[in-house]
Amino acid sequence: MNVLHRLYEQLPEEIRLRSTRIGEVTKLMAAYANQLPAQYGFENMKQLALATLEGCKYHDIGLLINHTLLIPGSHDTRYTLGEIFDQHPIYSKKIVDFLGDEVFDKENVQVIQDLCLYHHEKYDGSGYPYGLEKNEIPLLSALCGMAFDIDQRIYNPDKNNINIFHEITDMITRKTTDWYSPTAKSCFIKAKNEIFEYYLSLS
């Protein structure tokens, strides 16, 4: 077992399972973004889908950077832990860059780096770690961030209420929602039935 996978296994099971779900939802939406495979140098969506699933698997590995790295008395602990959380996309990319050569196919690296680094950026500039906005955010990363938001609102292992699906659709597609680009919203609209069927299958 390689070092990166051993680190991944140290993540709480809840995060590992969430990463799998986010990967599936991102893949479903990316299938409707025709330009994405060529943008990343792939011939077809099947190749990009595999890289997407792999990238989403490791995109939150930076969450392993925790309070054990703090210098006692140097900062307010609560502030520092919040700061570390906000920086976890950067840590994820650094870990992947350092340990990924033995794990990833070279053609997948850009996908994985983008998913690590930009999955919490928002179209209106309110995201982190860099506060990017609009087309500064790679579309695949924007879809990953949307998948995260969908999963947080939908996933409940004990209850999958169809009404929640309608609420999510309304939240994402309404004109006043500025977190997502028109292109990302379009991908969601085209994939929403598949997304909701996927969550229903988990119950």
Structural domains in the chain, CATH included, are 3-201 (1.10.3210.10)
pLDDT digits (tens, 9 = 90+) for 137-151: 999 999 999 999 999
- Are 144 and 123 a contacting pair, CB within 8 Å? no
What is the average pLDDT across 28-39?
Answer: 96
Alpha helices in the chain (DSSP H): 3-10, 13-30, 36-39, 45-58, 77-86, 88-99, 109-118, 139-154, 162-173, 182-201
Average pLDDT over the chain reads 87
d(CA 117, CA 87): 9
DSSP assignment letter at 72: T
Q: Which of 80, 147, 151 is nearest to 120 (CA)?
A: 147
Q: Residue 72 has what pLDDT?
A: 46
d(CA 165, CA 202): 14
Q: Residue 166 has what pLDDT?
A: 87
Distance of CA 10 to the CA centre of its chain: 19
Query: What confidence tier does 193 reach under pLDDT thresholds 50, 70, 90?
Result: very high
- Name which residue leads in pLDDT, 74 or 200: 200
